[in-house]
Structure 1
Amino acid sequence: MASRMRKLFHRQNAGAIEERRKMRKELFAFNKTVEHGFPNKPTALAYDPKLNIFAIGTSNGVIKIYGAPGVEFMGIHSGDFSVSKLFFLPAQGRIISLLDDNSLHLWEINLKDGGSTMEEVKNFMIEGRLKKISVCCLSSDASRLYLGTEGGNIYLLDVESFDLEDHIVYQDVVMQKLNDSPSSSVPDDFKVNPGAVEAIAQHPSDKDRLLIGYNRGLMIIWRQSELMLEASFVGHQIESLCWHRDGTHFTSSHNDGSYQVWKVSGASSPAKEPLVPYGPFPCKAIPKILYLTTKSEPFTIFSGGMPRASYGDRHVVTVIQDKTQHVVFDFTSKVIDFFTMSNVNDEDEFDEPHSLVVLVEEEIVFIDLQTKGWPTFQLPYLSSLHASAITSSNYICNVPSQLWEKIQEVGEHQQQNVMSTRDFPVIGGKNLVEPPAYHDLLLTGHEDGSIRFWDASASAMKYLYQVNVAQLFTAEGGEQNGSPGVVEAEEEWPPFRKVGNFDPFSDDPRFGVQKVVLCPQSGTLVAGGTAGQVVVMKMGEDEEEKKTIEVVQAKIVVDDKFVWKGHEALPVREEPFKFPRGFQVELVAQAHPPAAITALAFQSTWGIIAFGTSHGFSLIDTTLKRLIVSHCTLNPHDLSVTGEHMSRRMSLTKSLRASLRRVRQKRGTTKPRKQRERRSNDTGGKVIEGSDNTPTTPEKESRGRGFDDADLVPIERKIEARSEDPKVSMVRYVYFANTFVRDAHTATPSLWVGTNAGVIYIYSLGVPTGENRLQGNVVAEISKEIKLKHGAPINSMVVVDSDNNPLPDPIEVQHECAKPPNMSGHNLIVCSEEQFKVFALPSLKPRYKTKLTAMDGSKVRKVAFINYRSRNNDSYSENHISCLTNQGELGIYSIPHLKRQDHYQALRRENVTGIASLLFTPRGEGMYLLSPSEFERFTMSASTVTEPLCMLELAEGMRPVPPEPEVEPEPEPAAEATEEGAGGDADAAAAAAGAEVAQEAKPDAEEQEPGEKDAMH
């Protein structure tokens, strides 16, 4: 009987369920869209001068190709091998990759779905130890790839067929020719074993001549068509070779830090003596050298060559032009490769380089060779996000144009006289995405006390501006200088110049920015630090005269028994300080004890900030610059806390007890046991939450609304009551709301504070308005206190109105950025690590709850309240809770019924850094650290997708013309049939057609949910 009732219920509600499924597809769709920042562990670099694009290969087999801002392509090799070399086939939109497993791969950028995509089309593997590829050289016509090997032979790969040619330059044959040459002055020991092929270079005008360098120092010019040795040269151990543009000379670099210029015709002796630029003491090798001509003096550009003893740890690229211009560009990470850019053709007389591009392990730097002083370019993408380690982040949507323009202006002023004024030189490809109609900011807080502003409106994330909070304090490392860019070194030899932004060292770990908040309407920036410092800054258009920084002390723990054994507070600079244009300090609040800021909120309309630490929280009046209230959350057992990192890991005893309890529950009866209250005594004014009569989501919503979709039912598990942890005083979340706290008739400003122990403190605030604000004090009185029964840490809270809309910030309503809230039917949504719960206000009566996690180790780590818009109807939207667990799973839950709408496995559970760094955006997107240097951007919204859509415009004939579709012959007319037979056939045909339509429609009806698919790049 029950099964019949269920079937009848399903049949009656099938239409509503199907309609809801369609709506979910219009609202939700998970996709990983684009990677922002700098590729992790780069290993290879290539440049296509014809299409003006460049490529970076990485140690995990990824190839990324970049052109103009917004032009980006990515390919991933199937095996987990490092990319050793990259070679563009100029103007063809093709690139060859060599992996460290000795395999070669051909990639093409082809048109697909309205844009261009990168596809692997061919591959080839060379096997054998002696055939290990040591160096490659692409012929000038891109028809051959010369493969030099460890065994000393050179193989020729035909690019079109992607297979080896029969012709091989055998080392034995070369040595025989060398022995037969009467004019050869090569010592005998070089003729026996010259070593691996170290360098290959094709003559700039005569394609038949190859310059080959062997490891031990033997160099030859080989004429391919005649298999003839034209000339031989002997030097020190070879690192690299390069032809001069006229083809009459070439330059070699060596492992002893020297380089030589050789004349091709005439004697096989160098045109100049070996030059050791940073000798005479032993120097490191010069891995790569370029000799480039100009109408004035030539350029000599090389990497390495530093004196071993004094500067052997430096990562440098030297640029020399005549005797007056000599700069050693000093980087903070290892040099991978470099190339130069120019606008000349092959027929031109000079090289005329205008830019130098250097790839190092942690960043890429573009250097302007046309501007005096050789400044660096401002990057429109590929910025080093981790110039200092990222410690916090925040995403701001819809930044007002006025503030946006100010940020851009002060950022440009900050780079004035530091960066090149020329346009960025890489402009290849075509961006097909229209410029966004809005401005979005990503704020990143860093270990060195800096806050960086990034334009996150499009797929190419651009650096805008930097604020250095550390300069407000003094520390053992001395004063901080927050001006990014080039740092001029003192007069010394070699003439070093520090370039690039990557700087992994911090003078003092207390500078680290733990929380950052921006109010875009008021232009106020608030940052919380590692040593309990909270800095309030406001955008200033003009440079501010020297003034003393005002400090508010917030003593959270007042008990004399408390002993703080952590770090000291940072001393604020006492002397008057001159503030440059941009964000200028208004106030510094200092928590005592000086523990790291764990929660931060700012209410610009009321002029107050709230922040929490591991010991409690404080409320500060930013208008009058005074402390309103502090509250200590420590219990008597915490008075000897040392300020060490808090851990919620179970002890061995607790873990064993939990395991045995689970076993007993599985073997026991299925009857539910009544859960006991954690505190049965008089609570003394506290509200103890956790009544078992609170309906769960399936009971409340499915019966009330008629939905019984099995895949939407949340996975609810029993939550185990935990023992009191003595270290649960940390404040996790602070929140301001203008809602009903004391009664249902009058809405008042309020502060809500959630702790690690599952406690919520509710304060009623009295905020003077109008002219009284500057004279009257803000009054804060504790109104209520909630203790969650399961005691899980509070991740987030929000008050929603009767329309299920989170209450907007009052300043957003004032500036017409948000609609005024509905001031009736307010509910409080509390999101802890283990469950979500809805309370009616002001009674705090529980209405709905859903248990997300249980004893299997799953915990909610991140929560956001997001408005999802329909991709087919922009006027329709729904508010939902989005969350991430420590298992890497994303979930979407309805408001207020807390019914799960969708879920996706986004990250691996082992990716602890990615989970900890994830942030949601108000538009239904998100970001997390894919590596220390790059963010992975994803979307859960079907209507909001930020991804590159671009194409390469190739010359006609670069791709084969697709064959025209064959015209199918018309079917012959069928023989006439009787009317009955025709009718029968027609019915049969209709039935068959109906069956075919049903067969085609079936996969759509049973389509796998997006969250069940594996996430793909």
Structure 2
Amino acid sequence: MDRAKKKFVSAIDGLRSLTSRMEIVVDEKIQPDHCRLAKIARHGFPDEARCIAYDAVQRLLAIGTGHGEVRIIGDTGVDYLLKHEADHPVNHLQFVINEGGLIAACGNDMIHLWNYRQKTPEIVHSLQLNKEAVTCIHLPMGSKWLYVGTDKGNVYFVSVGTFQLSPYIINWNKAIDLSCRVHPGSVRQIAASPVEPTKLLIAFSKGALVQWNLVTKEVDRFPLDPPIKCFSWHYEGKQIMTGNVDGSICIYNMKKTSEPQQKTTPHGQGCRPIPIIDWKHTTNSDQLIIFSGGMPTDDGLPVPALTFLRASKSATVLEMDHPLLSFVTLPQVPFNSCPQQPQALAVLLKGELMMIDLQMPGYPCIESPHAMDLHEQPVTCVTYYSNCPSDLIGALTLVGCKQRRKGFSERPWPVSGGIGRECATGHQELILTGHKDGSLKFWQASGENLQILYRLKTASHFERLEELEGCEKVSHAVKLIELCVESRLLLVSGVSGQVTLFRFSKIENMNTIAVSLTCLVVHIPQLNSLTGSGSDERVEAPQAPKEIRRQHKVISRDSTHSPDTSVDSDDERIVPFKVRGAAVKRSAGYQPELACLIPWPSTSQADSVTSAALNSAFGVIALGMTNGLALVDIFQCALIYAWSTSELFGSDPTPAVQLNLADVSSESPTEFNDSGDNAVTIPSDGTSLPDKSVLSPKHSRASMVLRRNTTEFATSSRERYREQRREHPDQQDIILDGRTPSISSRPTRCNSERTSNTSVGIMRRITKKGTAVARSVSFHSHVNGDQVIVGESPRDMQVLSRNRIGTVPSPSMSNHSLEKLSLACAETVTFVAFIHSFSRKNDSRASPCLWIGTNAGASIALNLILPQDRLISSVIVAPSGTVVKLKGQVLFQCFMDQSFSLASAACEAYRENNKDCGSPEKTIHNRVITKASLCPTYSISADLSEDVPQSLVVVGEFEIKVIALPSFIQLFIHKCEEIPLVKARATHVRGYPVLMCLAADGKIAVLSLPSLRLIYQAPLLPYSVEIDNPICQRISFSEHGLGVYMASPSEVEKYTICSEIADQASDALGELFVACDLPDPPRNNNSFLKGVSSMFSGIQRQDSCDIDSILADRDKTSGGMGGGATRTVARTIPGPSVNMERTQASGISAGQAAFAALQNISERGEKLCATVDATENLRNSAMNLSQRTGKLVEKLEKKKWYNF
């Protein structure tokens, strides 16, 4: 029977849905070619960095990563990303000096040659090694051959021009001593002599070092004791310096390699190996030795450190915070055959790039113009604003200048190559990143360069409880960021339930922090149990005469609950943080004003904020939690009310709390009369409270709002209450403690006098079973225990609404749907938004509302009544009873006006020390974002201005709906049941309103508004995404079709779905390669003597030999390997650019042949035409000759021959 009823109800719902749809035709101007996904720029430190390279002429720095990517950075704004097709790590990099080429060796044993002469770098050639793995590469300056070392100990030579493998090979068995019966290991390092390029040094992984002569194939071997880890040439080519396994440094003379010329141990005996060493000289022959490692072993764990040794000076050791991967010296002279005059040292750490000034004492760091410290603390959330006001960026820059870090070198950034990008988007862009330690960073992203503006610490005013020091769930990590760019209010939510409201100030202030507890007590086993609310605290700085003064005693730092803020003494809920609310002098910038804490049921059940909204015009903060909602008044710094999720559903056709206003059609906020007290009536005829089983003292307590007022205000409130009790001795209190529920049989009147302007009726509805549906009482802050005492002053009036989950159908939901919602007592609020809209069916006027979305797919509207004086009266909130149901979790909600233009809630403009409550004449209107000329046109059978003055767009996981307001008729629907959505936002593409969504498969979809037509779809993320994946908090959509996301834990990437902006970004690209002349090579002082000695000795100089002829001549190769054998070792793969060139060449030749054939045909036709003409002329001539001959014959025949 129940099943039949459910089927019948579902059929009724289907009929209702059929009849509640409006046929509307919208002519949208957005087209698919208006959308294109393009990644504009990537900022931050490369994730999983592996190697580093430097071009001393172009002044560019390249970093290879473990994901097959290469980042090339230069001057400010020069930051390019090169991406290989495969995700294999880039292990080795080598620049083709001043040629616009970069060679990358990847983990799949492929070597690629990148050409970055054009704006978009491309791969020119690739070489795949088949049987051996690449372990190191080396390209001497000006050389045409790349030296490749492999894991088998062999050395190969690759032509840079053609990427063909040379038949010349240095085999490991010919390089080592014949007496050595052990494989030397893989090739660790290769370097050619700076003076004689035919001499190579080859270091093997097991400590062997040899010198190979390319011409004579002679080998000079170095001793194996101690084993050598690395080496560095002297610029004259006569000596080398080696770093050894035992932490020692040796200098060898190249004429006598059997023993070291000098040996030192910089850090004493028993040290760790030295993996990298560099030997440089300055112009005054001052040598500089830099090496990593070599630290003593008695320190325990290896400490990453760099050691600097200068002649006649002591050693300098710099300890690093992260493991050291590699370093490269940045010389002023690119040639290594002369003193290179090093100016800086680029150090690549695991998670950081350091630039050390080598010309300053103490070796300070040079500040980088690139955002390499983006991940200084792990990024937990990202918020992006692409239309930020320029004055806000200027103000942040001004206050951020005082936060500039000290201790940096004054020298400019030495990697100054390339030409920076222009501003591609033309918008003022601001990126906010929240971090694990509770800090916030404000970044300017307008000029295609991520520049730090301001840093904010949100954890400085919170202190952990001592008993929760070891709890992992107690964290300062930032979870949500809400910034009102117009009023400059900032709301920051943490993962442990701490929320802070910051107000921007240009000057230093001495202020305290108000504290508010948003408590919820939800009893899940019983649907009819009443939930308890939290406490409320109000603190205001003494600014204007109307403002309430702060409490004389400051909040204790040892306890979050002060005597005026304690709710229940036997409450076992846990507040993980204490607020340091004492008066502290705070620097200019964002200063904390209000702190909201969400108590936990227990240490194992941590509660946190799941969604948040901030509206400066309404002056209200909405906090969605895992099991409820809380509203906080910004002006009073007080909690308005806290609901459990089940209380948000209005089950009656009319709201549970009736607000009988004198002028309901008024468009301005409701005004409260300050001259008299508002009468509050509680009708109770024929009603009764639930029994003890429903209202138990443990789980059923009245929700209370507790303020922290001044002592004078609390005393005057108590006196007024006692006075009223003396005047009305028969008046009874409402005590909701679960033990003595009683109420008068007649309405209890708190005041016999009503105001003429407004009247607020607060009703308590009872179901047929006697369950309390909703209560709304007004009370003071001097509440004892569980008692809620009815008060009469509008100054303290708070309306508390409690909704019933019953069987009375709501206007938008059936009984069957409501039963499903009734089972979800602990629904999570996933989205909140303020708007001036219609909250109930067939409303005549729009009013301030709060729209709430839950994870069960319910979209709920709450009415907000804003009083005239916000410092005296509080905001009244009432459920509207409107629920819109969707499939899956509600992700986003937005509104459109009658012309289908996107609209957002009103906001206040920024004013310094702005805490006024607004003028009585001030009206609140939505802001229209879409331009009127770009709005879609429509056609409908009825008048659209009367039927659809506003539209609601609700985005769920599995479907999207467009609802007409106030008729609540469904206009359009889009289903995505196969691949659900995880994130959405309304934006504009070329000014046209669209909906930008991220699907679970990582694709970004663009839908038109309001028809929800799928326009464009493209992959954004290379992996699938769950709705609770942390990447959803680290991806942000913004206006103009722009967005950012964390491409890696340390990189943020900006993208766009607008083809116009994508074209602008492509045109605004800078230049990596800047054509410049190579400096003149240094003169060798010994060249004349060498020439004279070779002339008299008759021996040809070895350095004059052509290396190209040696490596390309097959007769002089070692082993005489042919071309067929080289193909088994490696295979050349031409790049796409080469294939394109070949295709173009073949296309050009075919075109030329076709053109020649057509030309020949034309010439042949012309000749044929000429022949025909000549034949015709001959025919005509013959005809004329025949006629003339006939006439002559006839004339001669008629002539008389005998005429004499």
Output the TM-score relative to the length of structure 2.
Answer: 0.63
Would the alpha carbon gap of residues 878 and 162 (structure 1) be closer, same or farther in structure 2, given more than 3 Å must change? closer
The residue that corresponds to 1:729 in the other structure is 827
| From 983, 994, 1004, the counterpart of 1:862 | 983
The residue that corresponds to 1:86 in the other structure is 93
Letter in 1 for 2:904: P
Greater fraction of residues in strand: 1
Give the 3-state SS of the residue equivalent to 2:88 in structure 1.
coil
1:266: how far off?
5.4
Aligned pairs for 1:662-701 (under 5 A) are 684=808, 686-689=810-813
Are positions 1:830 and 2:954 aligned together?
yes
Letter in 2 for 1:777: S
Distance 2:165 2:571 in 1: 71
| From 43, 52, 55, the counterpart of 1:45 | 52
| From 270, 283, 291, the counterpart of 2:279 | 291
Are positions 1:753 and 2:876 aligned together?
no
The residue that corresponds to 1:614 in the other structure is 626
Contact map agreement 1:72 1:950 (CA 8 A) in 2: no
Please, which moves more after superposition, 360-369 or 258-267? 258-267
The residue that corresponds to 1:76 in the other structure is 83
Contact map agreement 2:235 2:337 (CA 8 A) in 1: no
Per-residue CA deviations over 1:268-305 (Å, capped at 9, x if unaligned) read: 4333323152x444x43221111222357533222233
Contact map agreement 1:251 1:291 (CA 8 A) in 2: yes
The residue that corresponds to 2:643 in the other structure is 631
Letter in 2 for 1:125: Q
Give the 3-state SS of the residue equivalent to 2:392 in structure 1.
helix
**Over aligned residue pairs, what C-alpha RMSD do you find?**
4.3
The residue that corresponds to 2:235 in the other structure is 245
1:862: how far off?
1.0
1:163: how far off?
2.6
1:866: how far off?
1.0
Letter in 2 for 1:286: I
Letter in 1 for 2:854: T
Distance 2:1076 2:243 in 1: 41
Contact map agreement 2:281 2:288 (CA 8 A) in 1: yes
The residue that corresponds to 2:17 in the other structure is none
Give the 3-state SS of the residue equivalent to 2:464 in structure 1.
coil
Would the alpha carbon gap of residues 724 and 352 (structure 1) be closer, same or farther in structure 2, given more than 3 Å must change? farther
Per-residue CA deviations over 1:431-478 (Å, capped at 9, x if unaligned) read: 353475432111121222111222222444333332111111123699
1:727: how far off?
6.5
Per-residue CA deviations over 1:752-798 (Å, capped at 9, x if unaligned) read: 222223334433323345xx34x333322214133344563222222
1:509: how far off?
4.5
The residue that corresponds to 1:121 in the other structure is 124
The residue that corresponds to 1:536 in the other structure is 501
| From 826, 845, 848, the counterpart of 2:968 | 845
Distance 1:101 1:295 in 2: 43
Distance 1:568 1:612 in 2: 18
Contact map agreement 1:549 1:577 (CA 8 A) in 2: no
Distance 1:433 1:746 in 2: 48
The residue that corresponds to 1:451 in the other structure is 440
Give the 3-state SS of the residue equivalent to 2:894 in structure 1.
strand
Structure 2 gaps, min length 5 = 1-24, 523-530, 535-569, 601-605, 648-693, 701-803, 912-924, 933-944, 1079-1136, 1170-1204
Task: Report % sequence identity.
Answer: 25
State how many pairs are aligned.
842
Are positions 1:892 and 2:972 aligned together?
no
Contact map agreement 1:686 1:784 (CA 8 A) in 2: no
Give the 3-state SS of the residue equivalent to 2:400 in structure 1.
helix
Contact map agreement 2:624 2:828 (CA 8 A) in 1: yes
Distance 1:541 1:813 in 2: 15
The residue that corresponds to 2:105 in the other structure is 98
Distance 1:249 1:97 in 2: 30
Per-residue CA deviations over 1:714-753 (Å, capped at 9, x if unaligned) read: xxxxx99978764642111111112344675544322222
Distance 2:1044 2:225 in 1: 53
Contact map agreement 1:759 1:785 (CA 8 A) in 2: no
Contact map agreement 1:728 1:756 (CA 8 A) in 2: no
1:637: how far off?
14
Would the alpha carbon gap of residues 758 and 125 (structure 1) be closer, same or farther in structure 2, given more than 3 Å must change? closer
Aligned pairs for 1:28-43 (under 5 A) are 28-43=35-50
1:588: how far off?
1.2
Letter in 2 for 1:930: A
Contact map agreement 1:564 1:640 (CA 8 A) in 2: no
1:123: how far off?
2.3
| From 365, 381, 385, the counterpart of 1:376 | 365
Would the alpha carbon gap of residues 784 and 306 (structure 1) be closer, same or farther in structure 2, given more than 3 Å must change? farther
Are positions 1:162 and 2:160 aligned together?
no
Distance 1:64 1:511 in 2: 32
| From 1045, 1055, 1062, the counterpart of 1:938 | 1055
| From 862, 871, 887, the counterpart of 1:763 | 862
Per-residue CA deviations over 1:782-821 (Å, capped at 9, x if unaligned) read: 1413334456322222222112223234237899996599
Please, which moves more after superposition, 143-152 or 739-748? 739-748
Contact map agreement 2:575 2:597 (CA 8 A) in 1: no
Per-residue CA deviations over 1:913-968 (Å, capped at 9, x if unaligned) read: 54564321111122333332223433222222356723344548999999997885
Letter in 2 for 1:157: V
Contact map agreement 2:480 2:492 (CA 8 A) in 1: yes
Distance 2:1037 2:1022 in 1: 18
Give the 3-state SS of the residue equivalent to 1:466 in structure 2.
strand
The residue that corresponds to 2:488 in the other structure is 523
The residue that corresponds to 2:339 in the other structure is 350
Would the alpha carbon gap of residues 174 and 977 (structure 1) be closer, same or farther in structure 2, given more than 3 Å must change? closer
Contact map agreement 2:623 2:629 (CA 8 A) in 1: yes
Distance 2:176 2:291 in 1: 30
Are positions 1:261 and 2:251 aligned together?
yes
The residue that corresponds to 1:601 in the other structure is 613
Distance 1:372 1:779 in 2: 63
1:309: how far off?
5.1
Distance 1:903 1:538 in 2: 40
Give the 3-state SS of the residue equivalent to 1:511 in structure 2.
coil
Are positions 1:801 and 2:897 aligned together?
yes
The residue that corresponds to 1:197 in the other structure is 187
Contact map agreement 2:610 2:828 (CA 8 A) in 1: yes
The residue that corresponds to 1:274 in the other structure is 264
The residue that corresponds to 1:403 in the other structure is 392
Structure 1 gaps, min length 5 = 1-16, 180-187, 481-504, 642-679, 693-718, 870-876, 979-1017
Are positions 1:225 and 2:324 aligned together?
no
Letter in 2 for 1:786: T
The residue that corresponds to 1:208 in the other structure is 198
The residue that corresponds to 1:551 in the other structure is 515
Distance 2:166 2:324 in 1: 34
The residue that corresponds to 1:142 in the other structure is 143
Contact map agreement 2:617 2:908 (CA 8 A) in 1: no
- Which structure's CA Rg is the greater one? 2
Distance 1:627 1:749 in 2: 18
Are positions 1:950 and 2:1073 aligned together?
no
Higher relative contact order (CA 8 A, sep 6+): 2
The residue that corresponds to 1:873 in the other structure is none
The residue that corresponds to 2:567 in the other structure is none
Give the 3-state SS of the residue equivalent to 1:571 in structure 2.
strand
Give the 3-state SS of the residue equivalent to 1:91 in structure 2.
coil
Letter in 2 for 1:124: L
Would the alpha carbon gap of residues 362 and 612 (structure 1) be closer, same or farther in structure 2, given more than 3 Å must change? same
Distance 1:637 1:110 in 2: 78
Distance 1:893 1:299 in 2: 62
Give the 3-state SS of the residue equivalent to 2:344 in structure 1.
strand
| From 922, 929, 933, the counterpart of 2:1046 | 929
1:154: how far off?
2.8
Give the 3-state SS of the residue equivalent to 1:247 in structure 2.
coil
Please, which moves more after superposition, 426-435 or 740-749? 740-749
1:140: how far off?
2.9
1:852: how far off?
1.6
Distance 1:739 1:319 in 2: 69
